[in-house]
Amino acid sequence: MRVLQLTDLHIFCEPGKTLHNIPTRESMLDVVEHLRGQQFDHVIVTGDHTHDEMPASYRAVRDALAPWMSCLAQVPGNHDDRAILREVFADRVSGTAHEPVRFSIDHDGWLLVGLDTHLPGEVSGVFDEEQGNWLEEVLSQSQCHSIAVFLHHPPCDVGSPWMDAIGLSGRDELQSVLTEDGRAKLICCGHVHHEFQLQLAGIPVYTTPSTGIQFHPDSDSPRFDEVAPGYRIIELHDDGFQTEVVRLPEVKYVPVRDSL
């Protein structure tokens, strides 16, 4: 099974509008062009579809991802609006209004689970009791041999103080659910705009670069990195998995620090 993870698109409704000098819509389209012709069983967006949370921005994302609409799954990030996401992607996202946006997909012995860590009005995220109950129920109903988890906020620190300060609360509860079940093989996240490989109680945790602006991995305060945008490819097999980050071949746009 071949899975594509895209994350942290940060699209504006106005074409050409920049985030710290990065035209995020154009950068996302560069990533999509780089992927042209590739086939995936699932395409998963792990949050921050937009930066301004406007309906037109979500429609721009939908237009860009049209080649994979039939296999698209999504979870929100801190820059998302659940109701608008659900309205624009009504054929892909079930539920109503501001209910959690999440998914569970059984495929070839794997269970792909998407968690909603969005906390309205906050940059940080949360895995709460309601989400824990939902996850336990989903896991109890699956006969899969392996689980891949997708969420926006990493469930462990990445070692960058300012990023870790806006991380996930309730991570112990998530760890408890996953370790008690015992089938989780990997966790894929966004939010930190860079590639990290970490662990949660022995479960590999992977973060993925943004399709737009990149953060420097070793900084005590917000700092941008002059590296190309990218995405993650995940190959899921009966006996394990392989994953890699692919970045575009050139740095087309250079970020400028103004403010976060």
Domain ranges (residues) in the chain? 2-247
Provide the pLDDT for residue 257: 73
CA distance 27 to 212: 5
User: How far is 147 from 99, CA to CA, in rounded Å?
Assistant: 24
119: left (phi over 0), alpha (psi -120 to 50) or beta: beta
pTM here is: 0.97
Which pLDDT score is estimated for 258? Answer: 56
Q: Determine the pLDDT at residue 218.
A: 81
The per-residue pLDDT string of the chain (260 residues; one tens digit each, 9 = 90 and over) reads: 999 999 999 999 999 999 999 999 999 999 999 999 999 999 999 999 999 999 999 999 999 999 999 999 999 999 999 999 999 999 999 999 899 999 999 999 999 999 999 999 999 999 999 999 999 999 999 999 999 999 999 999 999 999 999 999 999 999 999 999 999 999 999 999 999 999 999 999 999 999 999 999 888 888 899 999 999 999 999 999 999 999 999 999 999 875 45
Cα end-to-end span (Å), the chain: 38
- 2-247 CATH fold: Purple Acid Phosphatase; chain A, domain 2 (3.60.21)
Residue 251: closest CA among 233, 227, 215, 230: 227
What 3-state class would DSSP assign to 42? strand
Closest CA to 44 of 95, 96, 92, 11: 92
Element (H, E) at 173: helix 171-181
- Six token digits for residue 87: 């309205």
125-126 and 103-107 strand pairing = unpaired
Cβ atoms of 237 and 3 within 8 Å: the answer is: no
Residues 6+ apart with CB under 8 A from 257: 20, 222, 223, 224
Q: In the chain, count of helices (H) and strands (E)?
A: 6, 15
**How far apart (Å, rounded) are the C-alpha atoms in residues 50 and 25?**
9
Cβ atoms of 220 and 17 closer than 8 Å: no
